Amino acid sequence: MTQTITVIRGDGIGPEIMDATLGVLDTMNLGLQYEFADAGLVALEKHGELLPAATLDSIRKNRIALKSPLTTPVGEGFSSINVELRKRFDLYANVRPAKSFPNTKSRFPSGVDLITVRENTEGAYIGEGQQLSEDGETAVLTQKVTRRGSERIVRYAFELARRTGRKKVTVVHKANILKSTSGLFLKTARAVAAEYPDIECNEMIVDNTCMQLVMKPEQFDIIVTTNLFGDIISDLCAGLVGGLGLAPGANIGTDAAIFEAVHGSAPDIAGKGIANPCALLLGAAQMLDHLALPEQATRLRTAIVATLEAKDSLTPDLGGSGTTQSFAKAIAGRL
């Protein structure tokens, strides 16, 4: 197989964890070719814009991208690069696994194995119609939820359950209060769920979901929800398994997909060579699944778990004294 992927090395620790990740992928002899593209602060400095046309063209052509964390400057005139990428390529499904790993700082060392499927293109999170009154006393934004957007994200969740052998989908909502928007999402979800009698479906209000996740996370398999709720819940789930350093993410659309580490660019440790590459490596494993290479994805995940079990060259956030590169080489040595 020869597959060209767009590689965005990102900002802060991004280049360090990307170089480590590509080194591991090269060890696997997958036939991947890399086309490097800029985004974020490095793109602003080199090209005068956060998301150059050449980067968009590369993603459009290759249809697959692996992305390190990006920094969006604070201040007016700068919109989120991640939100813009989702919008440009209609990356409607944000897929965030949370799984317990050995020798990590987790309250649940063996009991969490769930996936949050988050609608990625609508709702309050995208910030449509934001307005601030002239006196600065009132702020307003528009929350739009569509039947089409709800239907396709719920269907994605059920198809994911079938594809991965998972047995239950939990629809998370706030329809008791947000009767129009969350109500439409829930009504649509019920209609889709009826088409999948082989998959158990239950419904849960979002605030109860957060409590249940903290108390009994093992009851969840796949969670599907709207954009803003999914943003919050997926980070909560990352906290259950040791933090964002172990949290990958996939942004899936019909014509393109972007895989990433969901943590930030961590400028405070950039250049020190101590960043944990696990999240991006796990994002790369999601990418291999998407490329119809499930055996290779499993092989990569198994090597990561084995390295964690052996406490081999773990980075400081995992309680070790290893470096980004030594940790990655320990993983590569198990492939």
Q: How far is C-alpha 219 from the chain's CA centre?
A: 21
Which residues make up the CATH 3.40.718.10 domain(s) of the chain? 1-100+241-335
Q: What's residue 77's pLDDT?
A: 60
3-state SS assignment for residue 263? coil
User: CB of 147 within 8 A of CB of 191?
Assistant: no
Positions marked catalytic: 125, 174, 207, 231, 235
Q: What's residue 16's pLDDT?
A: 98
Partners of residue 281 on adjacent β-strands: none
Q: What's residue 56's pLDDT?
A: 98
Q: What's residue 76's pLDDT?
A: 60
Closest to 284 in 3D by CA, of 303, 265, 271: 303
Q: What is the CATH topology of the domain spanning 1-100+241-335?
A: Isopropylmalate Dehydrogenase (3.40.718)
Instruction: Report the distance separating Cα 255 and Cα 61, nearest Å.
Output: 10
pLDDT tens, residue order, the chain (335 aa): 689 999 999 999 999 999 999 999 999 999 999 999 999 999 999 999 999 999 999 999 999 999 999 988 876 666 789 989 999 999 999 999 999 999 888 888 778 999 999 999 998 888 788 889 999 999 998 999 999 999 999 999 999 999 999 999 999 999 999 999 999 999 999 999 999 999 999 999 999 999 999 999 999 999 999 999 999 999 999 999 999 999 999 999 999 999 999 999 999 999 999 999 999 999 999 999 999 999 999 999 999 999 999 999 999 999 999 999 999 999 999 99
CA gyration radius, the chain: 20
Instruction: Report the distance separating Cα 224 and Cα 95, nearest Å.
Output: 9
Query: DSSP assignment, residue 130?
Result: -
User: CB of 65 within 8 A of CB of 54?
Assistant: no
Residue 40 corresponds to which tokens in the numbers above? 């974020």
Burial environment of residue 77 by CB neighbours within 10 A (0 to 12, 13 to 18, 19 or more): exposed
Instruction: Report the distance separating Cα 253 and Cα 318, nearest Å.
Output: 33
CATH code: domain 113-224 is 3.40.50
Instruction: Count CA atoms within 13 Å of residue 109 on its CB side.
Output: 6
3-state SS assignment for residue 50? coil
Instruction: Report the distance separating Cα 298 and Cα 282, nearest Å.
Output: 10
Q: pTM value?
A: 0.94
**According to DSSP H, which parts of the chain are helical?**
14-27, 41-47, 53-62, 81-88, 147-164, 181-193, 206-215, 227-240, 278-290, 294-309, 324-332
Q: What's residue 1's pLDDT?
A: 66
Q: What's residue 125's pLDDT?
A: 82
- Tell me which H or E stretch contains 172: strand 168-173
Q: What's residue 109's pLDDT?
A: 74
